Structure 1
Amino acid sequence: MTTKKKKWISIAVTFIFAVITLTALFPIISLVVASLRPASGLMREGLSLLFDPAELTFSNYLSIFSESGQQYWRWYLNSLLISGMLIVLSLFFSSMVGYALAMYQFKGRNVLFVLVLFILMIPFEILMLPLYQLMIDLNLINSYFAVMLPLIVAPIAVFFFRQYCLGLPKELMESARIDGCTEYGIFFRIMAPLMGPSFAAMAILQGLTSWNNFLWPLLVLRSSDMFTLPIGLSTLMTPYGNNYELLFSGSVLTIIPIIILFLFFQKFFISGLTVGGVKG
């Protein structure tokens, strides 16, 4: 293949990926533009990139910091607390379960792993009714724990950590035992640092899942002060569009924590997914 032909192929591939990128970013760009337009224009023309630049204003964002936006920040805080606690608890417990399934030989290990895969294949919507009844029995309705409890030990996280741990050298465990290290010491002091990329990948995926979770919190949360952002923003949608200013500007601000989370862990994200995905 000639150098000129390689150059044209490279240009074509770059163009194709640029088009794909712009297509993927179109909803976000439309959302940002909508957040800078008055509600009257949105009601008249809908979401569109064809607009008068003179009508762009930051007044929608100023409304968030006014008295009418106080409830929004309460929802924001609820989502931050729930997502933050869920990430920490999910990484802690799911990593320990996946590590045990990968590194220890015990009776029923394969059965437990098959159960994890079985639960992974069941849609969450099927499990919601028994989980909802469980939350009622535990008297956890309208609490943070009701939102977090079914997601703390996520099957996808257990499966991922198990696959990742299969690639860790078991010789390190034997050496640590000879030196007198306990099993918990082996995990926290030796194995957990080696699992850094997997923790980063699961932190992003679990954080994204929790942040965007809508249906389950909608079932278990009752008071508006306990609402998360997806539920709270949905209450702003009215037939008259009188809350569109807060809805679109608030939706743009909800993207910020996910971007920060990804930027913080992006160094290990790809390596964590690829290494965890090829171990058998």
Structure 2
Amino acid sequence: MENQKRSTLSWLANIGMAIVCLIALFPVIMLVISSFRPSSEIMATGISLKFDWSMMNLDNYTYIFTQAAEYWQWYTNSLAISAITIVLSLFFSSMVGYAMAVYDFKGRNLFFLFVVFILMVPFEILMLPLFQMMINFSLVNTYTGVVLPMIVAPVAVFFFRQYALGLPTQLMDAARIDGSTEYGIFFKIMLPLMTPSLGAMAILQGLNSWNNFLWPLIVLRSNDMFTLPIGLATLLTPYGNNYDVLIAGSVMTVIPIIILFIFFQRYFISGLTVGGVKG
């Protein structure tokens, strides 16, 4: 009787999760379907369940691959910015978080309080001083100006610190006895142990960078330097909307995130779980 009750609850839980997943995926499914519809029909009926299946074709994707050169420029820009942001953010944030976790130095707790405080401050409040810094450093309309404020993310520092608190410090002592330097201990011993946290944060930082709209919009000025979110937004104007690129192009933007998640998925759950409970 007890087993039957558990089986019933398990089935109900699975059905409930399936319904929630369908609700969450419904906008994505509608977007994919609409990407095969002519732009004239989308203008007439909008993105809805009522459309003519016989009019579905690959013309939107053909247009993207043959005539939308600007779209691929934006795509390349976003890929480059996201890749650089992920690498630099993981490198510097992991070092800062690791140092705050394993080293006992003066002011450590104060620095950690600063990190927590910045986490609570909305980015919109920091935009003006950050933009003024970009002007002073002549980094407006440069990719450096887009990437630089994102290199040491407070959320990444906090996450790596929490994860590093659970690392075995005995390995550090053994490495010091063997004559290893502190950098050698970090890169050769401790960083490999932080691989799950690196994988989890790579997904989160990559998703944040890929979808980042507001900061690149403020910093970048040239059309050929726009990232994908900004470029797609420029297709919506009072004088006409280029749905040929907008809808199909939006579907194409999901591909890098899916690839990133597939590549790091084995680290994602373990990294979030262990990093969330340590310390």
Does the alignment reach a TM-score above 0.5?
yes
Question: Residues 101 and 109 of structure 1 are in contact (CA less than 8 Å); yes or no, is this contact kept in structure 2?
Answer: yes
Distance 1:231 1:246 in 2: 13
Q: Which residue number corresponds to residue 192 of structure 1?
A: 191
Residues 202-213 of structure 1: pairs in structure 2 closer than 5 A: 202-213=201-212
Question: Residues 39 and 241 of structure 1 are in contact (CA less than 8 Å); yes or no, is this contact kept in structure 2?
Answer: no
Residue 7 (structure 1) shift: 3.1
Q: Which residue number corresponds to residue 54 of structure 1?
A: 54
The reply on whether 1:12 has 2:8 as its aligned counterpart is: no
Distance 1:62 1:44 in 2: 22
Query: More deviation in 169-178 or 234-243?
Result: 234-243
Task: Please list the CA deviations of residues 151-206 of structure 1 after superposition, one character each: whole Å capped at 9, or x if unmatched.
Answer: 10000000000000000010000000000000000000000000000000000000
Distance 2:31 2:140 in 1: 33
Structure 1 portions without partners, runs of 5+ = none
SS in structure 1 at match of 2:253: helix
Query: More deviation in 1-10 or 248-257?
Result: 1-10
Q: Which residue number corresponds to residue 167 of structure 2?
A: 168
Question: Residues 33 and 49 of structure 1 are in contact (CA less than 8 Å); yes or no, is this contact kept in structure 2?
Answer: no
Distance 1:199 1:261 in 2: 13
Task: Please list the CA deviations of residues 26-50 of structure 1 after superposition, one character each: whole Å capped at 9, or x if unmatched.
Answer: 1110110111111111112111133
Q: Which residue number corresponds to residue 136 of structure 1?
A: 135
Task: Please list the CA deviations of residues 120-174 of structure 1 after superposition, one character each: whole Å capped at 9, or x if unmatched.
Answer: 1100000000000000000011111111111100000000000000000100000
Structure 2 portions without partners, runs of 5+ = none
Q: Which residue number corresponds to residue 71 of structure 1?
A: 70
Report the residue type matching 1:200 in the other structure. G
Residues 221-260 of structure 1: pairs in structure 2 closer than 5 A: 221-239=220-238, 241-260=240-259
Distance 2:177 2:40 in 1: 73
Task: Please list the CA deviations of residues 80-113 of structure 1 after superposition, one character each: whole Å capped at 9, or x if unmatched.
Answer: 0000000000000000000000000000000000
Report the residue type matching 1:190 in the other structure. I
Q: Which residue number corresponds to residue 40 of structure 1?
A: 40
Report the residue type matching 1:170 in the other structure. T
Task: Please list the CA deviations of residues 16-68 of structure 1 after superposition, one character each: whole Å capped at 9, or x if unmatched.
Answer: 1111000010111011011111111111211113322101110000111223x
SS in structure 2 at match of 1:66: helix
Identity of aligned residues (%): 66
Distance 2:167 2:256 in 1: 32
Distance 2:149 2:43 in 1: 39
Distance 1:37 1:124 in 2: 38
How large is the RMSD of aligned CA atoms in angstroms? 1.0
Residues 81-120 of structure 1: pairs in structure 2 closer than 5 A: 81-120=80-119
The reply on whether 1:125 has 2:124 as its aligned counterpart is: yes
SS in structure 1 at match of 2:152: coil
Structure 1 runs of 4+ aligned residues shifted over 2 Å read: 1-11, 238-242
SS in structure 2 at match of 1:21: helix
Task: Please list the CA deviations of residues 207-254 of structure 1 after superposition, one character each: whole Å capped at 9, or x if unmatched.
Answer: 000000000000000000100000000000134654101100000000
Q: Which residue number corresponds to residue 150 of structure 2?
A: 151
Q: Which residue number corresponds to residue 28 of structure 1?
A: 28
Distance 1:8 1:52 in 2: 41
Distance 1:126 1:231 in 2: 21
Question: Residues 198 and 272 of structure 1 are in contact (CA less than 8 Å); yes or no, is this contact kept in structure 2?
Answer: yes
SS in structure 2 at match of 1:65: helix
